[in-house]
Amino acid sequence: MQGRLSAWLVKHGLIHRSLGFDYQGIETLQIKPEDWHSIAVILYIYGYNYLRSQCAYDVAPGGLLASVYHLTRIEYGVDQPEEVCIKVFSPRKNPRIPSVFWVWKGVDFQERESFDMLGISYDNHPRLKRILMPESWIGWPLRKDYIAPNFYEIQDAH
Amino acid sequence: MAATSFNMASTIFSTLGRTPVKQRFRNRIVSSVSGQQEAQVEEEKVVKPMTKPRPVEPQINVESKNMGREYGGQWLSSVTRHVRIYAAYIDPETWAFDQTQMDKLTLLLDPTDEFVWTEDTTYKVYSKFQELVDHYEGADLTEYTLRLIGSDVEHYIRKLLYDGEIQYNMNARVLNFSMGKPRVGFNYKGDEPV
């Protein structure tokens, strides 16, 4: 089960792992964090000029953290653009993934949100700081091992 | 808040060392964050569970400082309904807000007068506050830490309410029972209702 992009990457000797296809038939690839920046540049040159979304999630308690990129190739006169989904996994301790801000500028706030929620630190991101939580917040709220502090909230009122 | 507090200035009392005043308990306690006697307090806890509040000396001629836009136009605080903690010295009479003294925390207890306070119960809350401040000694002075302290004080106030030590003030301006509706024949200790 190999998609078109995977075959193309194999042809050019680029290391990746095919994760199959999602429910819409979009090819999913896993790429190592250390290869991600160079492969991102290659994919941009290949034609994926639009980053549709970037998100991140915690794979399992105590497991890896994943950063997911949905890339689209936008051209004139195409109604079914080529799409691909890239997943980059990094260890929970010291998670570092190269930022693709300098390839697709739109990833700026989305990587900041991933940093804020899961603590993935994106190397070379120009202003990586918390975007949703207050800057003095401690902990990464969307990690599975996060314990919310017992703050007194207005919801406690009946 | 500043404007309303300012009008209320004549009814502000700094609690400690004073007789309780019936109509208002817009009290404040000022204590130094960098309390020196943490170890001592730990030892004391075993014999005496209540930490003695260590209020700072009342100051005279306090002026509002560092509140301008050039200092960011903001202040470090944790504000919930019954507990307002500011990292500044606030003058109890004039409400001058001296932000140069960030080594002090000021607690405004129940500014909306939702509960009926006595000297005894305010003392309990203050000693809880002092205990928490001592506990967080060495932590960064951030909003997060202040909110941890403020939340714990709020939980403590709720505990006092559930234990029946404080009551809702039925003459409060806003009577919405923000810590739970009063119930008859119910207590949280699991005993038989009276």
**Spatial contact of A67 and A97, defined as CB atoms under 8 Å apart:** yes
Total H helices, total E strands in chain A: 3, 7
Ranges A27-41, B13-27, B156-170: which has the least confidence: B13-27
> A157: which chain B residues are within 8 Å (Cβ-Cβ)?
176-179
Backbone dihedral angles phi then psi of residue B8, each to the nearest 5 degrees: -85, 5
CB contact (8 A) between residue A150 and residue B151:
yes
Among B107, B122, B109, residue whose Cα is nearest residue B160: B122
Residue A154 has what pLDDT? 61
Whether B16 has a pLDDT exceeding 50, the answer reads: no
- In degrees, to the nearest 5, what angle opens at C-alpha B157 toward C-alphas B153 and B158? 120
* Confidence class for position B32, pLDDT limits 50, 70, 90: very low
User: Is the torsion defined by CA of B113, B117, B123, B128 positive or negative?
Assistant: negative
Residue B94 has what pLDDT? 87
Average pLDDT over residues B95-124: 90
Average pLDDT over residues B162-166: 87
Q: Which residue has the higher pLDDT, A31 or B57?
A: A31
Average pLDDT over residues A40-54: 94
Whether B128 has a pLDDT exceeding 70, the answer reads: yes
From the list B140, B151, B177, the residue facing A152 with the nearest CB is B151
Average pLDDT along chain A = 91
Whether A151 has a pLDDT exceeding 80, the answer reads: yes
How many A×B Cβ pairs under 8 Å? 38
Residue B11 has what pLDDT? 27
Average pLDDT over residues B33-62: 59
pLDDT tens for A103-141 read 999 999 999 999 999 999 999 999 999 999 988 899 999
CB contact (8 A) between residue B154 and residue A152:
yes
Whether B159 has a pLDDT exceeding 70, the answer reads: yes
CA–CA gap between residue A25 and residue B156 (Å, rounded): 55
Q: Which domains does chain A have, with CATH numbers?
A: 2-139 (3.30.460.80)
Residue B186 has what pLDDT? 67
Structure tokens at B87: 């990292």
Residue B8 has what pLDDT? 27
